Structure formats: C-alpha cells, structure tokens
Structure 1
C-alpha cells in the first residue's frame, strides 16, 4: 500500500519556464505556456509535476519516493478533504482526522497549521505505519474546523539581468492575504486547525466508533 499523495519515481518537476509580468497591482508570476489548471485555487500559481500512469484502482504507479508528496495530489486531497492514502472522502461524524509527526506540532497551541491531508477511518493506522515522517507514533488531531489558510512555496523575483529566480524559500506558511503571493510558486496547500482535540490512536478508534454508533441511532450529524 502506497498513499495516493506520495510522489513516485518518474514524477519529476516540470522544466522551469517562468516569467514575471508587471501589473498595476505589482509583479505577477506566470508560466510562459500557462493554462487554467496551473491556478487551481484563489489565483495562486501551482508547481508543475509529472503524473505517472494509474493502475486499475486509479492509483499512481511507480516506485514511491516516500519523503515527498506530489504537489498537485497534495493540493487535491487537502482541498477536497480526501484521505491522503486512498483519496476517498475523509470526513467522519466526529470531524476530520489529521496526523502530524511526533515533534512537528505543539499540541498546547490553540491553532495548528498543517500540510498533511486528512486520513479516513480505514487508513488512519496505515498512514501512521507507512509514512516515515510520522514515525509510527503520530500526534492525532480530530478537527471540527479546518479552513483553508495558505500555502508553502517559493517566492520568485528578478535578478540584475532581469532573469526569474528564487529569492526566498520561507519555512513558514504564506497566508492567502500575504503581499508576496502573486510571485509565489506554491507546492503545498495548508489548512488551519482551530477547533480540535489531540488524541492517541487508541482514543481515536474509540471516538470514531462512538461517533458511528451515535450516527446510526440518529444522535449526531456529520459536520
């Protein structure tokens, strides 16, 4: 089993054919041969990456590159709140399940920013076991509110010869209102968890089982 979002060998980044065009509102980054699929969300330019053929289950083929997420598949699953393993809807009656590496987040914070797409009930344990980043001991966030917040990506500019180049690779989230977003090439979509509980994997299983029982009896509505 290989998660849907995992990048595969052969799915390489597209050749760099970027340009910056001046506008009245400021410079804006473009592909020279851009089409609408390059701006899938809020006008943000997205990193291009090749797609391998899919198998009879519509899953990507090829040797997995375990430490990498395919930028477009990451965006699609995060945007649609679909499971990062199987790409099926990830909502549960109790909320959406997001996993993080054991040292990635401070669980005492009231707001968490995550680039990890959610997981469905069926594949929560599989994601923890398969992803090296999660080290089989993830923090589990059961979130009732997880709005889109921004992106990770590289900020581009012009050098002295007017050639396009990367001027900064921020290690923090660039919110959708960031002033440099027009010259960003995004590679990951970020959600903000603001109403959530932190659970262990055992607690999560019990919570989801209880939620399913309540739904069957008519006591809980899916968020």
Structure 2
C-alpha cells in the first residue's frame, strides 16, 4: 500500500506543526512554593487538571476541522494524543469508542499476551470498531502482530515526556525515554509532558472480529 493511500490517524503529527521553542520555558514555583518548570506566558490551558505542564505544539487544521498537511508518520501530536486519551476517543477518527462491552484497545504483540490480573500501561488511545481493521493493517507498531483487548477500566496513570533541570546556565533538558511517570511523582514538577498514559486494568483478550461488529454508545 502506498503512503498516499494510507489513512492518517488523527493523532499523527503533520509537517509544519512545530513545538514551542525551549526559550519559552522558565523556572517558576508551584502552589506549594517549590521550584518547577513553567512558561513565561503560561496560561491555564498549559497544564492538565493534575497540574502537569504540557509541551506546546502548533496545529494545522483544515476546513473540515481535522489536521492537514503531510503526515510525520512516527511522530505523535501531543495535544491531539492528550485529547483522544482524555476522552477515550479513537486515535484515528477522534470519534467515540465506547461500546456496551467497554473500550477497544490494540496492543503490539511485542508486549506478549497479557494475562488476567495484569495491568498494562499504554499511551495509545483506543480505536473505534469501524477503524480497528485498518489500524492493524496499516499501523507500523502492529505489523509484527497485535493483541485486541476489550477494556472495562482504564484510569489515568501519568505521562510520558522530557525531564528538565535548573543549572547555573539556565534550564536544561535531560535525556528522556518512554517510561511513564505516575501522577503525583515529585519529578513531574520539572517535566514537560507529551503523551498521556492510562492503566488498562480490567480487560479481556478478544478476537478482532468480535470488536468490529460492536455498536457504539453515544
């Protein structure tokens, strides 16, 4: 399948969408008087309800209300990922995903087949029944196999992003990784979030065909 014929997920970053400059960041203080990372012109929208600072990134939105421009396939737009993960909406079409049985999630086979009682951490939003098939056919992270899950409980866990520190030369970004940092962790005061993470706690491993036929709950 050519790149031009691939369906571009809603959360995929587009060329021309640029992150805010490092120079927009500064050292500030949180509500408890502790040093923290912030923006010079910070607004309420820059932090999530738990007080974590999020990376800014411009958005290119077309007349249809959806992202436009050439996709950057391996990059995720932080605001759109946060939006769909918060609302538990589809990462491909941004529509609802809730069914009478729960929320459909797809996990790569590289994680192994989860067992009852396992708790999975994921930064990948759910997928609606209408787009499950195209997701497993086109998504690079699922090309080596996948596990389809019907999830009944997926509370917010924390974030993925970049740690920072204050030095004599000013604010400095540290090497980050994809390890989720739980909410309320002290290091989040000096952290710039880019992806929201949920814990998949109550789920059933199912056949993909069982999910594609389910109706949505409005």
Normalization by structure 2: what TM-score?
0.88
Partner of 1:164: 171
* CA-CA distance at 1:7 after TM superposition: 0.6
Partner of 1:173: 180
Q: Does 1:150 align with 2:158?
A: yes
* CA-CA distance at 1:189 after TM superposition: 0.2
* CA-CA distance at 1:26 after TM superposition: 2.3
Kindly provide the CA deviation profile for residues 123-153 of structure 1, in whole angstroms up to 9, marking residues without a partner as x.
1112222321221732212100001110001
Kindly provide the CA deviation profile for residues 20-40 of structure 1, in whole angstroms up to 9, marking residues without a partner as x.
124554211101111111113
Whether the aligned pair in 2 keeps the contact of 1:2 and 1:130 (CA below 8 Å) is: no
Whether the aligned pair in 1 keeps the contact of 2:110 and 2:145 (CA below 8 Å) is: no
1:4 corresponds to which of 10, 15, 19: 10
Whether the aligned pair in 2 keeps the contact of 1:4 and 1:73 (CA below 8 Å) is: yes
Q: Does 1:60 align with 2:76?
A: no
Partner of 1:218: none
Moved more, 98-107 or 120-129: 98-107
Normalization by structure 1: what TM-score?
0.86
Whether the aligned pair in 2 keeps the contact of 1:67 and 1:133 (CA below 8 Å) is: no
Whether the aligned pair in 1 keeps the contact of 2:129 and 2:211 (CA below 8 Å) is: no
* CA-CA distance at 1:183 after TM superposition: 1.1
Q: Report the CA distance shift for 1:170/1:2 in structure 2 as closer, same or farther (over 3 A).
A: closer
Gaps of 5+ in 2: 1-6
Partner of 1:132: 140
- RMSD of equivalent CA atoms: 2.1
